[in-house]
Chain A
Amino acid sequence: MIFTAPALSYTLLSPMLILFGGALLGVLVEAFVSKALRPVVQLTLSLGALILALIQVWKIRGQQSLTAAMGSVIIDGPALLLQASILIISIISIFLIADTEHFTALPAALPGSEEERKATQTGDQVTEVYPLTLFAVAGMMLFPVASDLITLFVALEMLSLPLYLMAGLSRRRRLASQESALKYFLLGSFSSAFFLFGAAYLYGFSGSLTFAGIQQSIVGGTGNDVLLLIGMAFLSIGLLFKVGAVPFHAWSPDVYQGAPTPVTAFMAAATKVAAFGAMLRIFYTVFANAQWSWTPMLSGIAIITMLLGSLVAITQRDVKRMLAYSSIAHAGFLLSGVIALNKSGLDATIFYLFAYGIATVGAFGVVTLVRDATGEVTDLNRWKGLGKRSPFAAATFSFFLLAFAGIPLTSGFIGKFSIFSAAFESGAKGVVLTGVITSAISAFFYVRVIVLMFFTDATEDGATVVVASILTRSTIIIAAGITLVLGVYPTPLLNFISDLATFIR
């Protein structure tokens, strides 16, 4: 038997390889470096890996390849843009994760056990969250560039498994955190199963697991359409679960609430980019010619996602749950970019993903600052009068909320405008109209939070705002800066995206 060594183009794969390397090193650091040094070393290592990967992505921009990893990975413009977005979002999220106050000292110990108490008292903090983050980021980087179903599935699991763990790491309310992790894990496993089921049908339809093969069968029209439809539906379920679209959204409020807030920030922003990145590739290339089979389905899902997300958000009393429902509504807005299926839709979705991801990290960054003696305060009633106690936190949070609401002079407005106009161009008028109406609905609950913070007098049990660490502060300031710049003068980024974003197949 003869083995041929696989030909890998290391330059194109280098961003992902750097992250894998960094993650593995992180595991070793966790084992061998002394406790006192660990946090600093881990942070430097993770940040270094992320920045190096970003530089590498920048260097290979404009390059394209179908064969970077024996046909399992496609490197093209959209891929690099999405990877860069994931990296930038991860870098500013890592600053939040660096605040170990949010993480349990000893995740392996039972909640409330003697060991846990001892670890907390002695400040004996493990820092495994860093390598976990890097593994997740590596998976996210692979997800939108995968070009066969196996690689796609591997990437999906690789980004999900660390996230399941990370959701359970919270220091406060550990049981709720673990419950959310378990819920996330179980539902995630279901959706993975659906995904695999769909992949099997698609294999049955086309006799191939590669995107190119499936696409050819669709174009050729030789396969059995029933298999294609079933396969497409189940594959979509797996993807829609990850982006939190209705009716596959049930996990997200619980997980958003239960997970440590820095993890929520990272997960909410970066997972969306990765999952929508993969959706864009699959629906814009593989399934493009079966457009009539899936646009009605996705349109319907987009509409109910926008409606449910924004309506249910109104009733929320917890800031993290409110942001979770708001992110569901945003998944609906983003789906309208997938439905558009044109060049402007692709550009708009990539822009929106980046802008939304940055604002999301910023918003959760502010949430990490609002605390009382027992930890973070997420009950909105106790946010009353926050503007008086901390103008910085309240003002930046309001700004992010205005961006979510799509008020002009924020990146959210440019994103909404471009994504809706792309969808309108493709004839999805119902989706656009729903989008506009739900934007009005959602403005209501965003504004309500601003009212709470600025125009309501503080209650006695109100939350206090801790002085932000330099890292958290810089996350918030960077995020606010990007949100403002992209709202006032988005031209450079829009041009950059529109020059690069073309799927090569």
Chain B
Amino acid sequence: MKWLTLLMLLPLAGAAIISALPKANEKAAKQAALGTTLVVMATTIAMAVGFQRDNVDLQFVEKYAWIPSFGINFALGVDAIALVLILLSTMLAPIVVLAGWNEAHGGRWSVKTFYILILVLETMMIGVFAATDLFLFYVIFEAMLIPVYFLIGGYGTGERAAAAVKFLIYSLFGGLLMLAAIIALYVMSGEQGGHTFDINKLSQLEMSSTTQNLLFLGFFIAFAIKAPVWPFHTWLPDAAASATPGTSVLLLGVLDKVGTFGMIRYCLTLFPEASKTFTPLILVLAVISIIYGAILAIGQKDIKRLIAFTSISHFGFITMGIFAMTTQAHSGAILYMFNHGFSTAALFLVAGWMILRRGSSTIADFGGLQRVTPVMAWTFFIAGMSSLALPGLSSFVSEFLVLVGTFTKYPVHAIIATFGIVLAALYILIPVQKALHGPTTPGNENLKDLNLREKIAIAPVIAIIVVLGFYPSPLLKIINPASSHVISQLGLIDPPPTNGDK
């Protein structure tokens, strides 16, 4: 069965159905979107069941000739890393649709258009992780900017147009640098046995170390903008603050992961030597991201911007885990991508509901929510605790793995990064205290607690955060073989003392 093509086609089919619905019937559009995303999720899970976890090769491989004259194929396939991220995307999609049931109403365009954009975006999210042809990857990487652009600019709040443009221009700039590198790879592949975009073949190209370094930078900067890593991050707080909560979840939870995914899949695989050359520099950037994101998060008055800055800090951890190049750190980074998706989703969704009820996104406007809206307050609390990596919640496991894995090779970086956790306590506990505890701020007395729909939407997120906090091994069992494969491909051996993998 052609699982991956099916997965990519399903959301498109849903989008087609929605576009055929009458404009006035907004409810039908929402239901169709929810139904589609649920079907996609179920299909993904069904596919994931058949994944052989000890097999480090690409699975569910498909390949069709697309533009043969350039050696371009529509080639799909997943390894464990891609599978985990596709799972993340397709699980978040229905949650986002359900949680943001009414968020399309404030937009410039119809509710229908909103869900069409979301579903088209879902197809692209699956495709970008499943693509095994560099050209296909690039096409989706760039094309997915367009629906996000319209989602932010059309349905966001505040300075939404400016934020959307900033997002688009930053991403396009990075993408074009990558395009230059891709053209160079393409031309080199032509000189060495035929034009191709097959990742496996491209990884065997011979090139001088200067070339490799330059091309690596072309890719890395694009991914660093996407991730975002300091100093390429400035678009993110604006975009996240303007987008609807659901869009922000997809933006931070999934789209930004394309950056870190790209670092593993493309930077490390295609340019192993250059990756090692630049490791010291990138680790410094990662550590700066961790600390900088955390410090700025503490200073934020706007709750959405705060979450955006915490994410910059978290992406610092993920980048550090990737470039520490030990199996443990690597597994930690991949698991972190998954966990971060859910903890950010929880934070953003609950924050979105708080903002919706209060009509303000300033933290100081909340207060004493614990008494007025206990369920909402508790979910926000748990999400916050997960974000600061409290033991027993999912983020702790991944953050711990990254730090331990990094420590074995780069103790200084790991130690500095650990301060990030201390700062995390501050940036989460301060808003928790301000918003949830203390006396109820005037005007908040009559806020309504979560309704049934919202409870149903948030319950699976909280469940995943808690379950993976206590029992991460099902995921780790999938991830570990893949990450040790990546490390061994790089020709590296883990330092012996802490090689305590299960």
Q: Which listed residue (A409, A440, A448, A490) contacts B165, Cβ 8 A?
A: A448
Say yes or no: A491 contacts B67, CB within 8 Å. yes
Q: Which listed residue (B69, B160, B165) contacts A447, Cβ 8 A?
A: B165
A455 neighbours in B (Cβ, 8 Å): 108, 153-154, 160-161, 164
A421 neighbours in B (Cβ, 8 Å): 70, 183, 186-187
Say yes or no: B69 contacts A491, CB within 8 Å. yes
11 new A-B contacts at CB < 8 Å, known A425-B187, A491-B67: A408-B138, A414-B67, A424-B183, A443-B169, A444-B169, A447-B165, A447-B169, A451-B164, A454-B108, A454-B154, A494-B70
* B194 smallest CB distance to A (angstroms): 13
Q: Within B163-219, which residues are at the interface with A (CB < 8 Å)?
A: 164-165, 168-169, 172-173, 176-177, 179-180, 183-184, 186-187, 190
- Report the separation of the CA atoms of residues A498 and B150 in the bound assembly, to the nearest whole angstrom: 37
Interface of A toward B, CB cutoff 8 Å: 347, 387-388, 402, 405, 407-409, 413-414, 417-418, 420-421, 424-425, 432-433, 436-437, 439-440, 443-444, 447-448, 451, 454-456, 489-491, 494-495, 498
Binary flags per residue of B136-166, CB closer than 8 Å to A gives 1, else 0: 0011101101100010011000001100110
Say yes or no: A454 contacts B153, CB within 8 Å. yes
Q: Which listed residue (B66, B146, B165) contacts A451, Cβ 8 A?
A: B165
* B321 smallest CB distance to A (angstroms): 30
B172 nearest CB neighbor, chain A only:
A443
Say yes or no: A491 contacts B139, CB within 8 Å. no
> How many of chain B's residues have a CB under 8 angstroms from any CB in A?
34
Say yes or no: B67 contacts A494, CB within 8 Å. yes
Binary flags per residue of B470-481, CB closer than 8 Å to A gives 1, else 0: 000000000000
A491 neighbours in B (Cβ, 8 Å): 65-69
Q: Which listed residue (A424, A436, A494, A495) contacts B176, Cβ 8 A?
A: A436
Say yes or no: A402 contacts B69, CB within 8 Å. no
- Report the separation of the CA atoms of residues A432 and B69 in the bound assembly, to the nearest whole angstrom: 21
- Report the separation of the CA atoms of residues A494 and B187 in the bound assembly, to the nearest whole angstrom: 18
- Report the separation of the CA atoms of residues A490 and B68 in the bound assembly, to the nearest whole angstrom: 10
B65 neighbours in A (Cβ, 8 Å): 491
Closest 6 CB pairs between A and B?
Answer: A455-B161, A408-B139, A436-B180, A408-B142, A440-B173, A440-B176
A495 nearest CB neighbor, chain B only:
B69
Q: Within B56-81, which residues are at the interface with A (CB < 8 Å)?
A: 65-70
* B141 smallest CB distance to A (angstroms): 8
A444 neighbours in B (Cβ, 8 Å): 169
B153 neighbours in A (Cβ, 8 Å): 451, 454-455
Say yes or no: A402 contacts B68, CB within 8 Å. no
- Report the separation of the CA atoms of residues A200 and B265 in the bound assembly, to the nearest whole angstrom: 59
- Report the separation of the CA atoms of residues A29 and B180 in the bound assembly, to the nearest whole angstrom: 54
Say yes or no: A436 contacts B66, CB within 8 Å. no
- Report the separation of the CA atoms of residues A489 and B139 in the bound assembly, to the nearest whole angstrom: 12
Say yes or no: B142 contacts A407, CB within 8 Å. yes
Interface of B toward A, CB cutoff 8 Å: 65-70, 108, 138-140, 142-143, 145-146, 150, 153-154, 160-161, 164-165, 168-169, 172-173, 176-177, 179-180, 183-184, 186-187, 190
Contact of A440 with B172 at beta-carbon distance under 8 Å, contacts A447-B165, A451-B161 already known? yes
Q: Which listed residue (B143, B150, B183) contacts A420, Cβ 8 A?
A: B183
Q: Which listed residue (B154, B176, B190) contacts A425, Cβ 8 A?
A: B190
A433 nearest CB neighbor, chain B only:
B180
A447 neighbours in B (Cβ, 8 Å): 165, 168-169, 172
B66 neighbours in A (Cβ, 8 Å): 489, 491
* A121 smallest CB distance to B (angstroms): 42
- Report the separation of the CA atoms of residues A421 and B187 in the bound assembly, to the nearest whole angstrom: 7
Contact of A418 with B70 at beta-carbon distance under 8 Å, contacts A408-B138, A451-B161, A455-B160 already known? yes
A405 neighbours in B (Cβ, 8 Å): 172
A437 nearest CB neighbor, chain B only:
B176
A495 neighbours in B (Cβ, 8 Å): 68-69
Contact of A498 with B69 at beta-carbon distance under 8 Å, contacts A409-B139, A437-B176 already known? yes
A399 nearest CB neighbor, chain B only:
B146
B144 nearest CB neighbor, chain A only:
A408
Say yes or no: A413 contacts B139, CB within 8 Å. yes
* B350 smallest CB distance to A (angstroms): 28
B173 neighbours in A (Cβ, 8 Å): 440, 443
Q: Which listed residue (A387, A417, A418, A425) contacts B179, Cβ 8 A?
A: A417
- Report the separation of the CA atoms of residues A129 and B121 in the bound assembly, to the nearest whole angstrom: 46
List 30 interface pairs A-B (beta carbons < 8 Å), by A numbering.
A347-B69, A402-B146, A405-B172, A407-B142, A407-B146, A407-B172, A408-B139, A408-B143, A413-B142, A414-B67, A417-B179, A420-B179, A421-B187, A424-B183, A424-B187, A425-B187, A436-B176, A437-B176, A440-B169, A443-B169, A447-B168, A451-B164, A451-B165, A454-B153, A456-B161, A489-B66, A491-B66, A494-B67, A494-B69, A495-B69
- Report the separation of the CA atoms of residues A420 and B183 in the bound assembly, to the nearest whole angstrom: 7
A417 neighbours in B (Cβ, 8 Å): 70, 179, 183
B179 nearest CB neighbor, chain A only:
A436
A429 nearest CB neighbor, chain B only:
B184
- Report the separation of the CA atoms of residues A407 and B139 in the bound assembly, to the nearest whole angstrom: 8
- Report the separation of the CA atoms of residues A179 and B453 in the bound assembly, to the nearest whole angstrom: 66
B160 nearest CB neighbor, chain A only:
A455
* B161 smallest CB distance to A (angstroms): 4
B143 neighbours in A (Cβ, 8 Å): 407-409
* B403 smallest CB distance to A (angstroms): 37
- Report the separation of the CA atoms of residues A13 and B37 in the bound assembly, to the nearest whole angstrom: 59
B179 neighbours in A (Cβ, 8 Å): 417, 420, 436
A490 neighbours in B (Cβ, 8 Å): 67
B113 nearest CB neighbor, chain A only:
A391
- Report the separation of the CA atoms of residues A405 and B154 in the bound assembly, to the nearest whole angstrom: 21
* A376 smallest CB distance to B (angstroms): 26
B65 nearest CB neighbor, chain A only:
A491
B182 nearest CB neighbor, chain A only:
A417
A347 neighbours in B (Cβ, 8 Å): 69
B139 neighbours in A (Cβ, 8 Å): 408-409, 413
* B77 smallest CB distance to A (angstroms): 20
Say yes or no: A436 contacts B177, CB within 8 Å. yes
A489 neighbours in B (Cβ, 8 Å): 66-67
A425 neighbours in B (Cβ, 8 Å): 187, 190
B108 neighbours in A (Cβ, 8 Å): 387-388, 454-455
- Report the separation of the CA atoms of residues A414 and B67 in the bound assembly, to the nearest whole angstrom: 10
- Report the separation of the CA atoms of residues A408 and B141 in the bound assembly, to the nearest whole angstrom: 9
B70 neighbours in A (Cβ, 8 Å): 417-418, 421, 494
B184 nearest CB neighbor, chain A only:
A424
B169 neighbours in A (Cβ, 8 Å): 440, 443-444, 447
A391 nearest CB neighbor, chain B only:
B109
Say yes or no: A439 contacts B176, CB within 8 Å. yes
* A449 smallest CB distance to B (angstroms): 11
B142 neighbours in A (Cβ, 8 Å): 407-408, 413
* A355 smallest CB distance to B (angstroms): 14
- Report the separation of the CA atoms of residues A448 and B108 in the bound assembly, to the nearest whole angstrom: 17
* B205 smallest CB distance to A (angstroms): 15
- Report the separation of the CA atoms of residues A409 and B153 in the bound assembly, to the nearest whole angstrom: 21
- Report the separation of the CA atoms of residues A450 and B161 in the bound assembly, to the nearest whole angstrom: 10
